[in-house]
Structure 1
């Protein structure tokens, strides 16, 4: 059922599904937020509902509430954008952005077309994703990111950035995006903690 819905949305252009899928992803954001807030005022490790990872406890957090500072959709290649007519991850991020008041920025670009990852082995996907992403060269996007940094004063704490995509398979796409964002943030004098939200896991 989930595969069919995603196929209708992503490959057959059934964009009316975006709202439903986005609301489901927004629910995942609520769970992530709850976990982070539990972690902030807990002296014990927290079991993540997203994976088998045990999140270490943190003490003396200054803030009681957690919220993402920025949503970054995984970019599609120019050829894929022409083929589909939209970026499915960007549409999903828009829904969370509107509901939560979290800005989203197309901070990343694809440096080359990697083909359909669903037909590739894990090793092929990992190799494909190396250097597949770079920071946007759009001056307006970069200026907006710098304005966000200035308003948040990230010297006080790491940026909380969520990468948004439709499906998680090996994690190679998310990992490559995260590495690029971390480098960009460092070049601007701040650190970033990266999270991801995906609608499904393959």
Structure 2
């Protein structure tokens, strides 16, 4: 009887379709109906940032970094998809350092969730500002005089996605730019063009073991606006397209895309370089950032 039962179990296992291997944990389990490539167990453990505690950097816990900044910030805000827990650190390590590029579409979909959060917040602020006769609840002085929000406008939408560039050394090591791959997914889903408006001016050592002050110093002059003629032509074409659709009333909305936000030094350096590039083209920019994780 036992042998018959054992034989029947084996037969069922051969007939039944095998469950897919989870991209996160590597085990076979019931697949998530919402997030392709992972099991329901891993889906339930994703540490989503649904309500950012810091409205500037998007951190999910108390934030000392933004309170230290006394001057105007180069970005309006950052939003991140997940908290950078030990599990998320392992996932990013698989993708970024161990070359598991199969994770890129899934991580891009997760980043798109952060875009959706940013879109909802900005749409609400835009609507509230129009109803109250002001631009935003907490306007940033550096942009306040340039904003022109139209009553009855459509859902808030970014104009351009700009991935954080990697150095030639990093590109050679990894074979791809992880931020660019993530931005590809959001660009396709949201219909927002991606442009390489930034370049690395020099290679920097890995930031993970550096202090906040070391990161800030390291990144201060690490980026510059991309002056390649083909890139500038694409940007000018986009600006002309905006003008034809009467969108020149407001600043160009640019989102910087990266994999992780730690101290914000990389994002701020990128935003400063973008502002300088836009000023040289007589264009006013409103800059945001999206990252997959927030530490």
With normalisation by structure 2, the TM-score equals 0.63
Match of 2:255 among 162, 173, 191: 162
The alpha-carbon deviation at position 61 of structure 1 amounts to 2.7
Structure 1 runs of 4+ with >4 Å offset: 57-60
Pair 1:60–1:101, CA change in 2 (3 A): closer
Distance 2:129 2:273 in 1: 32
Q: Offset at 1:43?
A: 4.9
> 1:179 pairs with 269, 272, 275, which one?
272
1:1-202 to 2 correspondence within 5 Å? 1-43=87-129, 56=138, 61-62=149-150, 63-153=153-243, 155-202=248-295
When residues 43 and 104 of structure 1 are mapped into structure 2, their CA distance, relative to the original with a 3 A threshold, is closer
Structure 2: tracts of 5 or more residues without a match: 1-86, 131-135
**What are the Cα deviations for residues 66-123 of structure 1, in whole angstroms up to 9, with x where unaligned?**
1000000000000000000000000000000011110001111100011100011111
1:56 Cα offset (Å):
2.2
Aligned partner of residue 224 in structure 2, secondary structure: strand
Gaps of 5+ in 1: 45-53
Q: Indicate the larger mover: 146-155 or 62-71.
A: 146-155
> How far did residue 155 of structure 1 move?
3.9
Q: Which stretch shifts more, 86-95 or 60-69? A: 60-69
Deviations 1:148-185 (A, max 9, x none): 11111264210000000000010010001001111111
Deviations 1:18-52 (A, max 9, x none): 011000000110010000110111159xxxxxxxx
Conservation of the 8 A alpha-carbon contact between 2:129 and 2:137: no
Please give the secondary structure, in 2, of the residue aligned with 1:115: coil
Q: CA deviation at 1:65?
A: 1.9
Query: Paired residues, what number?
Result: 193
SS in 2 for 1:99: helix
Q: Looking at CA atoms only, which structure, 1 or 2, has the larger radius of gyration?
A: 2
Using the alignment, how far apart are the partners of 1:11 and 1:60 within structure 2? 43
Quick check: which one's strand share is greater? 1
> What is the rounded CA distance, in whole Å, between the counterparts of 1:99 and 1:41 in structure 2?
24
- Alignment root-mean-square deviation, CA: 1.9
